[in-house]
């Protein structure tokens, strides 16, 4: 009678790259309604991510649909507190915004909207909507 012993963490995918599962599958974004600072910064109170990636800020239109990213910053796997994101495109700023957690699946250290897709856990995109309180003053 034989036994099969598996050691190590990870497996090979179809491209023969080693996939290592994240240490945690927890993911969360905590962000409050807030003023946009004079230097176009927003504060995200807490981010928990199972992978290295990005937090992107998206305009939300009147119908509640999410638009393109108007600000982005890198985040490391684990927990981050008081993360600052600069709104880089104020021309597309809306009063309602969404913060979205994204994988870094493209080139390392380069945000690529078409490659760095959203983090999805239990069939839910990890995203939180919030409001710019001083929108009329900054627009």
- The domain limits of the chain are 25-138
Looking at residue 100, what is its pLDDT? Answer: 98
Is the distance from CB of 35 to CB of 17 less than 8 angstroms?
A: no
- Kindly tell me the burial class for residue 100, based on how many C-beta atoms sit within 10 Å of its own C-beta (0-12, 13-18, 19 or more): buried
Q: Whole-structure pTM over 0.85, yes or no? A: no
3-state helix, strand, coil in the chain (%, to 5): 5, 45, 50
What CATH architecture applies to the domain 25-138?
A: Sandwich (2.60)
pLDDT in tens, the chain (139 residues): 454 444 444 444 555 555 555 545 789 999 999 999 999 999 999 999 999 999 999 999 999 999 989 999 999 999 999 999 999 999 999 999 999 999 999 899 999 988 999 999 989 999 999 999 999 999 7
Name which of 110, 117, 100, 132 is nearest 34 in CA terms: 132
């Amino acid at each position: 009678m034989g036994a099969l012993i598996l050691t190590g963490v990870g497996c090979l995918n179809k491209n023969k790259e080693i996939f290592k599962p994240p240490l945690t599958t927890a993911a969360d974004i905590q962000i409050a309604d807030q003023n946009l600072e004079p230097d176009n910064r927003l504060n995200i109170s807490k981010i928990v991510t199972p992978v290295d990636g990005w937090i992107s800020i998206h305009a939300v239109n009147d119908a509640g649909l999410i638009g393109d990213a108007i600000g982005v910053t890198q985040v490391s796997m684990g927990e981050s507190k008081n993360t600052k994101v600069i709104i880089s495109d104020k021309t597309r700023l809306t009063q309602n915004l969404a913060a979205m957690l994204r994988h870094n699946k493209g080139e390392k250290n380069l945000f690529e909207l078409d490659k760095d897709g959203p983090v999805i856990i239990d069939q839910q995109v990890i995203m939180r909507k919030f409001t710019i309180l001083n929108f009329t003053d900054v627009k």
